[in-house]
Amino acid sequence: MSRRSSLLLAGLAVGASGCWMGPWPGGDFSEPSVGFVYVGPVGDHGWTKAHDDGRVYLEENVPGVSTHYEPSVISADAPDVMDGFVADGDNVVFTTSFDYIAQTQNAAANNPEVNFLNCSGFYSSANMGSYFGRMYQAWYLAGMVAGHMTLLSGSNRIGVVGPVVIPETVRHLNALTLGARSQNPAVVVHIEWIHNWFDAELEPQAANTLIDAGADVIVNKTDTTIALGVVQDLYDSGRDVYSIGYDNIDSCEIVGESCLTAPYWNWGPLYARIVQQMMDGSWDPYEQVWDQMKGDRDESTVYLAEMSTHVPAPVRLEIENEISELVKENNIAEPFVGPILDNTQVLRVQDDEAMSDAELLRMCWYVDGIIDADGAPAEVPGGCGGDY
pLDDT at 104: 98
Q: pLDDT digits over 289-328, tens only?
A: 999 999 999 999 999 999 999 999 999 999 999 999 999 9
Q: How would you classify the pairing of strands 263-265 and 242-244?
A: unpaired
pLDDT at 121: 81
On whether the CB atoms of residues 142 and 176 are closer than 8 A, the answer is: yes
End-to-end CA distance of the chain: 18
Q: pLDDT digits over 37-60, tens only?
A: 999 899 878 899 999 999 999 999
The mean pLDDT value for 110-114 works out to 96
pLDDT at 212: 97
**What is the C-alpha separation between 208 and 215, in angstroms, rounded?**
10
SS3 329: helix
**b/e per residue, 24-40, with b = 16+ CB within 10 A?**
beebebeebbbbbbbbb
* Closest C-alpha among 177, 163, 142 to residue 206: 163
pLDDT at 10: 42
The mean pLDDT value for 221-237 works out to 96
Run of H or E including 343? none
Q: How many residues does the chain have?
A: 388
pLDDT at 9: 44
Average pLDDT, the chain: 92
All domains in the chain, ordered by first residue: 10-16+26-133+266-291 (3.40.50.2300), 135-265+305-371 (3.40.50.2300)
SS3 245: coil
The mean pLDDT value for 86-109 works out to 95
Run of H or E including 218? strand 217-220
- pTM for this predicted structure: 0.92
On whether the CB atoms of residues 274 and 57 are closer than 8 A, the answer is: no
pLDDT at 44: 78
